[in-house]
Structure formats: structure tokens, C-alpha cells
Amino acid sequence: MYTIFLQALTACAFLPCVFAAPTQDSYQKNLAAPNEHPDDVYDLEPTANFAFAQLPQSQCLTESGSIGDILILGFPFDTATSYRTGTRFGPNAIRQGSRAASLAGHYNYRQFINPFAQNISIVDCGDLPISPFDNTLAFAQMEEWYKRILWREVNSKGKIAEISKTGRAHSQIISLGGDHSISLPILRALNTVYGKVSAIHTDAHIDTWSPKVFAGAEAGSKQAEFADGTPYYWAGMEGLLTTKNVHAGIRSSLDSEKDLELDAEMGFTIIPASDMLKRDGVWGVIDKIRAVVPHDEPVYVSLDVDSLDPAFAPGTAGPASGGWTPREVIQIIIDGLEGLNIVGVDIVEVLPSYDNAEITGIAAAEFTIEVSRPTKPVLELN
């Protein structure tokens, strides 16, 4: 071995050695920094936007002055739920689900519009700081704070055509829940501006259950009567609704004929999840909704994600098999709501701890995107 090493050293004395140092030209040249290329222009200002679909952000509850046409508002509340808890984290899950959709900007390829190009402003107002300890306090907070935001002056080059008792434009608020009980304080607040509204309630459950049935006749607490299964019972009893309302996507059992009679008295038409869809297709559902709900009066839309089949919405508080697909709900939103005077929306019951791969959050985000556009013509203001 020693002899072979000496022979190698001797060979290097007469031949170009493979261990010779490389010349300067053989070094790889350093890449130039980005700003050294005259043809490259970069915006290097940092941004930290955690709003829904990277919308402009505002503290709508505490700031003063004018406000946007369409507002995204989180309701992190779930202490009136009847089954799974955790939907207080739903608003964040929906915002997370919107991130992929926001990569392509705010152009809506399904409706071929960019809402921002239609003389309206859309703003994410963040979440309301709702009490998780006292439901009576929480309901008072939600109603009062929603009302404060609703009554603020709208700042826009145009306005969404609306019908209100005040004679002026008000923001359309898209509420991200939270359990379904949040509909009641919202409807109470809307009543101060619009009076009675018609409801398009998309859900697996009717949510007009009598509190004596839903909470139990033995329930000793008044708070127990206000839950995620009773908001539309109380909305009907308190005179917040017209007699032209829809339950769509229903597949929960009704406790008795008395429940059906009560829904009929409150003006609810029930559209089951499968019967009409199987017979008439999604357009049969759309036509039925539009035949019931008035086109020239205020309409409130409530979208519970458990209207979807659990295959498409595993992360929800009240899953029920046999529901719709996201594609069907999106078509109902686009074509069923077109031209209606939508004065408020809620998207509720997203439960991220049971979600898989953000399936439910993404679906809820897509629903939010589809309703974040004027359903009535946008009027130019001089």
C-alpha cells in the first residue's frame, strides 16, 4: 500500500494532478440579489392580513364613521348548542377555508363578477367578544352590537337597493357562527330597521321546536328555552317573521303533527332534503323557494352547514345523513337568491375540531363568497 502511494505522488510530479486547485473561472458565480436585476420589480412591504379572503379589515364595533356595504362579522358563540360544542371556533375555520379561494383575487368565476368592481365595499369586521359564561348576557351582547353596526352610516360610491323603515341604506351583514341560536338576536336587531322579514332557513333541522319539547318540560331555567333548536320558534312568536318563510334541506324527524301545524301557522314551507331534489332536481328546490319568498320585501338567509351531507361537512355540530352536496347549495345560493332583497345572512355550525382536511371550513367559505355580492342591482350615487 505504501509503494502504491509513493507511485501516485511521483506521477503527480510529471502529470497534471487531479487534486490541483481549480482556476478562478471554474468557480460558480454568485447569484445577483433580486433588486440588482433592473427588469425585476418587487413589492417588499410586509403584510399580515388574516381577514376573510384577505378582505380589508375594520374594527366595526368600536370605530366611528362610515362603514362598508357588505360586512363579514364573526359570532364565536356555542353555549346554546344541543349536541357537539366547539362552533365558537367556526369563524376562524371559515376564514382559514377562504385562504385558498383568495389566491385568485376577488373575482367570482361562478358568477363572472368581481364584487369590488360594482361600486360596493366589502369588509371583514372581525369577531364580536361574546360572553361564553352567561347566555342571557351573550344574547343581549349579540343583539345590541349587531344593531350598533347595522345602524352605522354606509360609505360607498353606490348602494345596494334595499327596503328599510329608516329610508336609508344599511350594511348587509354576513354573520359567521357559532351555533344556530345566533339567528335570534340577529333577527331582533334587523327588526329595528326592516320590520318583519321572510326567512330562507337552510338546515337539516327545522329549528322551530317548542322549547318545552326541545329543552324538556322539566327544564327549570329560562335560558334553556333559547337554544340552537329554537331560534325560529322564538322569531315567529316574537313577530319578527312574515308568513312567507322556507325550511330547506330538512331531514330531521318532527315530534308530532302539532309541530307541522305550528310551522304552518308561522308561515314556514318545508322542503325536505331528498324528496323534491330526487323528483325535480335542484331547480325544483330553487323554484319552490322563489315561489314562496317575496322578491320585493326584506329576506334573511340562514345557512347551516349541516344541510350538507356529513360526507361534505364532517365538522358540524349536528350531522345528519342524506343531505345536499356543496355544489347543490351553491347553485341554490346563486340562482335561488338572485334578485331578492337580502338584508342579512348567517353561516353557522362549523365545528373545526371534527373537520377533516378543512372540508367543512372550505365549503362554508365558498358559501360566504357566493353571498358576498349584491343580489339587488347596485345603484349609482351622485
Residues forming beta bridges with residue 65, ordered by sequence position: none
Closest to 186 measured CA to CA, from 93, 301, 350, 90: 301
Place of cell 379572503: 53
Q: Within 10 A of 152 (CB to CB), how many other CB atoms are there?
A: 18
Q: Is 37 annotated as a binding residue?
A: no
How far apart (Å, rounded) are the C-alpha atoms in residues 117 and 110? 16
Q: Is 170 annotated as a binding residue?
A: no
Cell numbers placing 338: 338572485
* Residue 69, annotated as binding a ligand: no
Q: Is 306 annotated as a binding residue?
A: yes
314 Rama sector, left if φ>0, alpha if ψ -120 to 50, beta otherwise: alpha
Whether the link from the prior residue into 178 is cis, omega within 30° of 0, is yes
Q: Residues within the annotated binding site for Mn(2+)?
A: 180, 203, 205, 207, 304, 306
Q: Residues within the annotated binding site?
A: 180, 203, 205, 207, 304, 306
